[in-house]
Amino acid sequence: MRFLPFALLLLGVTQAHANPVNELKTTLQRLQGDAPLKGQISLRSENRTNEGKEDAEVQPGAAQLMFEDGPQGLRLQYPQALLNRAQAEDQAKDQDNKSSTPTVTGLRELGYKEVRELVRPAEVLLRHLNRAQFKGEKPDSWQGKPAKLLSFELEQKRPDKYIKAYEGQLDIWVAADGTPLAARSRQKVSGRAYVVISFEMNAQDEWHFAVQGERLVTTRKTSTNGGSGAGEKGVTKRDFTLQLS
């Protein structure tokens, strides 16, 4: 009987290691290395308002930035040619309000949050997991490779008196060695504001991952956001890519 506490302790340790969520969190913590990275981040986007109507407005976005990330921090480079193009678009917009501004739009959409999700996705995924409830795992595949699919239910970030219904789901595909291969989140919100205005919003994000040294990076992220309310309807699609040099 004196050996029973040790056996129970050993069983607890074994179960902890078998916990897929703990294993994933441990892997993500390990893949937050600060080895230097450099390369190019690209964005292409399309914003559509009055979706489905004859007078639908389409606003494209496009931008490419060079980046460096490492122990000294994250730096983005804005080439002069890119800045000149953005300035020319702003000037054209002053003359004609219907003039397209893809570079200006692309630079606006390629902000800190988006860049961070590309170069430092491990810390972003950990934040998602901190507000997620584990639902289960099952064998699956990702791009023809064997994988485990871990599914989570996302909680609403903070209460909002206008939101009446919220649904959130996070799926993460993990390789046999525990490395995240991809993730996908879906969120749906509906509610009512000022009694008479009802609204609905949908968002889906998908990340494709790779490991560079001891760092997890996002090689591609696609994001689709749609919403309707007060007689208006719109959809925004964004495609981010990261290439290392």
**pLDDT given for residue 227 in this prediction:** 83
Q: How far apart (Å, rounded) are the C-alpha atoms in residues 236 and 223?
A: 8
Q: Mean pLDDT, 10 residues at a time, over the chain (245 residues)?
A: 48 56 95 93 92 74 95 93 96 93 95 93 93 95 95 82 83 95 93 74 95 95 87 89 96
**pLDDT given for residue 16 in this prediction:** 42
Q: How far is CA 39 from CA 64, 69, 90, 121, in A?
A: 10, 9, 28, 16
Q: What is the pTM of this model?
A: 0.85
**pLDDT given for residue 4 in this prediction:** 47
**pLDDT given for residue 136 in this prediction:** 96
Exposed/middle/buried for residue 178 (C-beta within 10 Å: 0-12, 13-18, 19+) = middle
**pLDDT given for residue 8 in this prediction:** 47
**pLDDT given for residue 158 in this prediction:** 67
Please provide the DSSP assignment of 177-220 as one string: TS-EEEEEEEEEEEEEETTTEEEEEEEEEEEEEEEETTEEEEEE
Q: How far is CA 117 from CA 38, 52, 112, 161, in A?
A: 15, 31, 9, 29
